[in-house]
């Protein structure tokens, strides 16, 4: 399996754990990730709030380079995926838009290479048996609230899962031995940049998500977006203080848990880099699995 790989800006900075665990998980599964040479920022929210054509041209350049190589593009970040999917659809639906974009990026782009969410590939393309075959550490004991966020399965154009009750991450975690909870906040917004610019708005949004996960019986949250994880992990303490609550919910990337189940050293996955302690729960799960293995 060979894909063009678009890491996006966050995976080399605030989402470094996502990059580390993506690389380790891909290696374990035999996925070859060809990083798009000299890739540029997809524009995320800044570009499409500024100029619609700019917001399409930025991801188009990356997609066009992958298209020249004849590869679909695997994208871990939900925001990057949404922007790349938007331009893929734009050029296939409008010849005029396609011409405008090609003029800006100064190269051909047909929309033939497909933007693929990494979660979609792990959960839906790879056979369940192939995932389970790689599991050396059963994740029994984890009771996860799978948090998809507002961009990964919306708008409907992304198309790989249900808009309101997606199940891809749930299926993947079940294959790793974890339990998942039913809850109503799978696709709610975490507040994006509001915790920084309007903390009274953003913290309230996070509080609702954290409280709902706790009420559903989860002992952790699993995410697929660097911004979502940063908000729920880094700012969890702020929300606890603001609302006089104690959530104590480690927040994982789905790639971290996949790599962990595959037997990768937790530090190679970045599990020791979280704000809310993740290693305590990781060690509990590994210890319990070890006991089962010697029973």
| 125 belongs to a structural domain | no
Return the pLDDT at 156: 56
Whether 146 and 239 map to the same domain: the answer is: yes
Domain that holds residue 241: 134-294
Q: Which of 119, 151, 184 is the last residue of a domain?
A: 119
Residues in the chain: 295
pLDDT at 47 over 70: yes
Whether 181 and 105 map to the same domain: the answer is: no
Alpha-carbon separation of residue 203 from 2, 189, 198, 227, 236 (angstroms)? 40, 12, 9, 14, 9
What is the pLDDT averaged over residues 230-255? Answer: 95
Q: Tell how many helices (H) and how many strands (E) occur in the chain.
A: 14, 8
What is the pLDDT averaged over residues 21-33? Answer: 97
| 129 belongs to a structural domain | no
pLDDT digits (tens, 9 = 90+) for 48-87: 778 999 999 999 999 999 999 999 999 999 999 999 999 9
Whether 22 and 113 map to the same domain: the answer is: yes
pLDDT band (50, 70, 90) for residue 45: confident
| 127 belongs to a structural domain | no
pLDDT band (50, 70, 90) for residue 236: very high
pLDDT digits (tens, 9 = 90+) for 154-184: 765 567 899 889 999 999 999 999 999 999 9
Whether 9 and 150 map to the same domain: the answer is: no
Are 138 and 289 contacting, i.e. CB atoms less than 8 angstroms apart?
Answer: yes
Whether 195 and 229 map to the same domain: the answer is: yes
Whether 54 and 167 map to the same domain: the answer is: no
| Domains identified in the chain, total number | 2
């Amino acid at each position: 399996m060979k894909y063009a790989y678009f890491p996006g800006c966050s995976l080399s900075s605030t989402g470094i754990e996502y990059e580390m665990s993506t690389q380790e998980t891909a290696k374990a599964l035999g996925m070859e990730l060809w990083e798009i040479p000299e890739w540029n920022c997809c524009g995320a929210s800044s570009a499409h709030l500024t100029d619609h054509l700019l917001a399409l041209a930025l991801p188009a350049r990356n997609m066009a380079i992958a298209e020249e190589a004849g590869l679909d593009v695997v994208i871990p970040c939900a925001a990057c995926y949404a922007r790349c999917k938007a331009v893929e659809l734009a050029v296939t639906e409008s010849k005029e838009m396609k011409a405008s974009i090609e003029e800006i990026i100064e190269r051909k782009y047909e929309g033939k290479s497909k933007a693929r969410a990494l979660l979609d590939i792990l959960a839906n393309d790879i056979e369940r048996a192939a995932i389970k075959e790689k599991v050396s550490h059963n994740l029994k004991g984890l009771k996860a609230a799978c948090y998809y966020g507002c961009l990964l399965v919306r708008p409907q154009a992304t198309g790989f899962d249900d808009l309101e009750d997606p199940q891809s991450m749930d299926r993947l975690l079940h294959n790793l031995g974890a339990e998942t909870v039913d809850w109503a906040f799978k696709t709610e917004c975490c507040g994006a940049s509001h915790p920084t610019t309007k903390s009274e708005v953003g913290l309230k949004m996070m509080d609702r998500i954290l409280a709902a996960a706790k009420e559903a019986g989860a002992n952790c949250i699993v995410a697929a977006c660097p911004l979502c994880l940063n908000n729920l992990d880094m700012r969890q303490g702020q929300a606890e203080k603001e609302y006089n609550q104690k959530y104590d919910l480690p927040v994982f990337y789905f790639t971290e848990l996949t790599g962990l189940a595959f037997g990768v050293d937790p530090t190679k996955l970045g599990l020791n880099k979280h704000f809310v302690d993740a290693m305590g729960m990781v060690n509990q799960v590994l210890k319990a699995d070890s006991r089962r293995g010697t029973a």
